[in-house]
Amino acid sequence: MAIESLNPYTGHVLQRFAAFSPTETEQVLAAAHQAAAAWRATTFDERAAVLRRAAELLRARQDELARLMALEMGKPVRDGRAEAQKCAACCDYYAAHAAQFLADEEISTDAGRSFLSYAPLGVVLAIMPWNFPLWQVVRFAAPALMAGNVGLLKHAPNVPQCALALEKLFHDAGLPPAAFRALLIETEPVAGLLADDRVAAATLTGSERAGAAVAAQAGQHLKKTVLELGGSDPFIVLADADLAVAAKTAAQSRMLNAGQSCIAAKRFIVEAAVHDEFVRLLKENLQALRYGDPLAEATDYGPLARLDLAATLTLQVADSVAQGAVVALAGGQPDSGHARF
């Protein structure tokens, strides 16, 4: 099956990639397993040099990376540049501090001498989402690589070009090619990778459903996992709040990445005494945000990342209205062929 890169703003297919065959996936895994033995033998200084060079490349390539995110998943280029810069700061941070974080720790016991020592695990499988296609990867890769591990990236299928751009960036920074590879695969092969003895651990950012599946599969094989799943914490506005600040913050938080963020404000609980004024101020702030082409510098928010997400949101709005919700501010409904909303 082809993995498709599609522009959600225009609906045009950017590029199609053939998914890795089982043989290709095996070759990448075998090479990563072999590379893990060599990479774990490197010093912190050697690893830090690669991470610092990666940070330099992230800053140097921020414009092209921002453009790629805008084209592939609809993130405005201003936000894309900020994401690349954040990734660079992450690489610099772990390059500077990993040796301290992972230093042996002497502890007091009845033995003559006791200490905690941290050793690399080996191959780490990372299953990452599309909403922050650089940051979600780098925040796993930077500490994992500094700890002496190697990474296999199974990125979301709608951002294959972002995955390959990061792979190239790490290789250009001096990382051995097999120590970080993007796997262009669908969901089905993941279970086999988790079961393979050469994969030591897994990390996932995504839905509760996906997290539960990965946790169950990894648990069967007693493998370590790090999971970051979705949430829906309330945005609470009390009667004594500064409503102007609350409304501005609410609009910014709700529309962060076109609302496609696990930390975005998703539901609002407002005291009755200030409800009407808060809604009025929230509408003003939302109307001030500029929707448009994510490649345009003036755009505050662009389309949703995929056509099916726009269709689902349309159904959710209709269902809410059917259950009694009142539409206080309405935008256009998406047309067929693109994910504008």
Architecture of domain 2-103+118-229: 3-Layer(aba) Sandwich (3.40)
- Write out pLDDT tens, residues 30-75: 999 999 999 999 999 999 999 999 999 999 999 999 999 999 999 9
At 301, is the secondary structure helix, strand, or coil? strand
Catalytic residue among 228, 277, 284, 297: 228
Active site residue 262: yes
Residue 242: predicted pLDDT: 98
Active site residue 83: no
**Does this chain's domain 2-103+118-229 share its CATH topology with 234-304?**
no
Mean pLDDT, residues 92-119? 93
Cα separation, 245 vs 177, in Å, equals: 48
Mean pLDDT, residues 91-110? 95
Residue 336: predicted pLDDT: 62
Mean pLDDT, residues 275-296? 95
**Average pLDDT across the chain, whole number:** 94
Closest CA to 6 of 307, 331, 314: 307
Residue 335: predicted pLDDT: 61
Residues 227 and 158: beta-carbon distance below 8 Å = no
> Which tokens hold the place of 287?
């109307």
Residue 313: predicted pLDDT: 86
Residue 2: predicted pLDDT: 82
The yes-or-no verdict on residue 339 having pLDDT over 80 is: no
Specify the pTM: 0.93
Query: Which CATH superfamily includes the segment(s) 234-304?
Result: Aldehyde Dehydrogenase; Chain A, domain 2 (3.40.309.10)
Query: Which residue type does 76 have?
Result: P
The yes-or-no verdict on residue 112 having pLDDT over 90 is: no
Domain ranges of the chain: 2-103+118-229, 234-304
Task: Give me the helices (H) in the chain, please.
Answer: 22-40, 44-60, 62-73, 77-101, 135-146, 160-172, 190-195, 208-220, 243-255, 275-288, 307-322
Residue 332: predicted pLDDT: 61
| Cβ atoms within 10 Å, residue 245 | 10
Q: How confident is the model at residue 330 (pLDDT cuts 50, 70, 90)?
A: confident
Cα separation, 314 vs 332, in Å, equals: 10
- Write out pLDDT tens, residues 218-242: 999 999 999 999 878 899 999 999 9
